[in-house]
Amino acid sequence: MRRVGVLALQGDVREHFATLENLGATPEKVRRVTDLDGLDGLIIPGGESTTISHLLVTSGLREPLQDLISGGFPVFGTCAGLIMLADEVLDGRSDQWSFGALNVSVRRNGYGRQIASFETPIVLEGRGTVLGVFIRAPRILRWGNDVEVIASHDHGDGEHPVLVRQDSVWGCSFHPELTSDVLVHGLFLDALQEALR
């Protein structure tokens, strides 16, 4: 049974827990460095990216997590989690930092503020369709050739990736944990299983 950590400093922790449990994984809350021990992967949930980044520093998790991710540890960031993994954050605050693990540029609130939240079907190439819940979602504006685009969305100004993967690092603009569909989390867990073989 796969043990998957959910960064539990701020954001959609409970919803990710429920989705992982539905898939037969064992979710673990990560609040301290010792909580990382024995995990097969980690989810960085949606929330407020500047708050999460501040709490990662004050909890002492920033450097240990940076080392793990740089070493190939599987991690999946949704919404604010995607921002935390991107190697470039456009229009971020002066104290904004990220792990720089995904070769993408993201714009915070790239699909609009809270009032502009929306839901739309998202097609995962060759894998099915899920409901994409976009809430102050980051928009991926640049992505490298080493980034696999699993799903895109056209919001009226051309296609932009909304679910991407680079080696063991996954990023998602929307909130798959806010629906009953487990397909996106299932893809991440399948990748964990492959890595463990």
- pLDDT value for 11: 85
Q: Which pLDDT tens digits describe the chain residue by residue (197 residues)? A: 799 999 999 988 999 999 999 999 999 999 999 999 999 999 999 988 888 999 999 999 999 999 999 999 999 999 999 999 999 999 777 777 899 999 999 999 889 888 889 999 999 988 999 999 999 999 999 999 999 999 999 988 889 999 999 999 999 999 999 999 999 999 999 998 887 76
- pLDDT value for 20: 97
- pLDDT value for 55: 93
- pLDDT value for 93: 73
Q: In terms of residue numbers, what domain contains 87?
A: 3-196
pTM metric for this prediction: 0.94
The structural domain count of the chain equals 1
- pLDDT value for 155: 86
28 within 8 A of 78, measured Cβ to Cβ: no
Beta bridge partners of 121: 131
Here the CATH number for the domain that contains residue 14 is 3.40.50.880
Give me the active site residues, please: 79, 175, 177
196 within 8 A of 105, measured Cβ to Cβ: no
54 within 8 A of 9, measured Cβ to Cβ: no
Cα distance between residue 52 and residue 194, in whole Å = 29
Look up residue 99 and give its two tokens.
Answer: 């792990």
Q: How far from 183 is each of 8, 57, 109, 123, CA to CA, in Å?
A: 22, 32, 25, 11
- pLDDT value for 114: 84
- pLDDT value for 50: 85
- pLDDT value for 79: 95
Q: Where are the alpha helices (DSSP H) in 38-139?
A: 49-58, 62-70, 80-85
